[in-house]
Amino acid sequence: MAGINKLPDILENSMENCKLCKERIADKLNSHIIPKFMCKRLFENTNPRHSVQISKDGIQTKLQDIPKEDHILCSWCEKRLEKLETYFARVFVEVNSLQNAKRKYKLEIIENQEILHCEEINPSLFYLFFYSLIWRSSVSKNILFDTFKFNEAIEEEIRIFLNNNLKELHSDLLEHSKKIESVPNYYLCLVKPKNKTRGIFSAYNFSQNSYAIYTVDYALFFYTNEDDCLLAHKTYGNSRNETFRIFIGNDESWKKLNNLVVENMLNYKNVR
């Protein structure tokens, strides 16, 4: 019996520290790599419940649950991320249905391209949120993210940014975001379809210094080198902008984006 009672202590001592704060034990189980609210339509109108996963070799397999992972975060860091995710779960409800939005958004048309400006939301909050997705995808050991890896310097830079600016309380998070001055300066471009079309789930490195995360309703592109950033993503995306911008793709463009996933996965080995 004495040996059984000591088992939790033995397990705790064998666990590594949290990858985010690097101070506490990574005791959290079932941490979402991508927040649940961004993936809830993965399994919509499917029976039996599944979606499609695209591997780095372009192989399609069934995906029956949102990617989760044990022992990468401590409970405290998980709570800090949850506060951020709860805030953005509400933001994306508004973005998907602007008629009922409480915050102010501006739709601008530039050269026949629709761009949504999130005028009342501090851009630093958007960077915190999207960098949290990017960072977790990079540190994850889940096979779904095996082609989404940064070098240690970039991964550490983003980790420090997150760790320094995430807060336990919702009110503290909103207040602190106004004071954030130093944001990792990379190119981000968030694309959403104009209408409610289906997509796939995938996260991968599609060319040198270029990464993408597809979450059914959104595609997030991230570039660690300006020279590799696609012109449209540089023009309509985000790099320390005064407001955060969302690229609105028409249905045909959205379908092309999703079709490119398989093509890019098939070309992955040539990139590496």
Do the domain assignments include residue 166? yes
pLDDT in tens, the chain (272 residues): 445 555 455 445 557 999 999 999 999 999 999 888 887 665 555 554 555 555 555 555 555 567 789 999 999 999 999 999 999 999 988 888 776 677 788 888 888 888 999 988 999 999 999 999 999 999 999 888 888 999 999 999 999 999 999 999 999 999 999 999 889 999 999 998 887 666 677 888 888 899 999 887 888 999 999 999 989 898 888 876 678 999 888 777 777 776 666 566 555 444 44
The residues pairing with 32 across neighbouring beta strands, listed in sequence order, are 68
Is residue 105 in a domain?
Answer: yes
Position 63 in a domain: no
> Residue 75 domain-assigned?
no
pTM of the shown model: 0.83
In the block, tokens 């310097």 appear at 153
Q: Is there a domain that residue 97 lies in?
A: yes
- Domain range holding 166? 82-271
**Burial degree of 21 (CB within 10 A; 0-12, 13-18, 19+):** middle
| DSSP-assigned beta bridge partners for residue 204 | 212
- Identify whether 87 is part of a domain: yes
Whether residue 11 lies inside any domain: the answer is no
| pLDDT at residue 11, as a whole number | 44
**CB 190, CB 164: distance < 8 Å:** no
Cα distance between residue 102 and residue 118, in whole Å: 12
Identify whether 2 is part of a domain: no
How many domains is the chain built from?
1
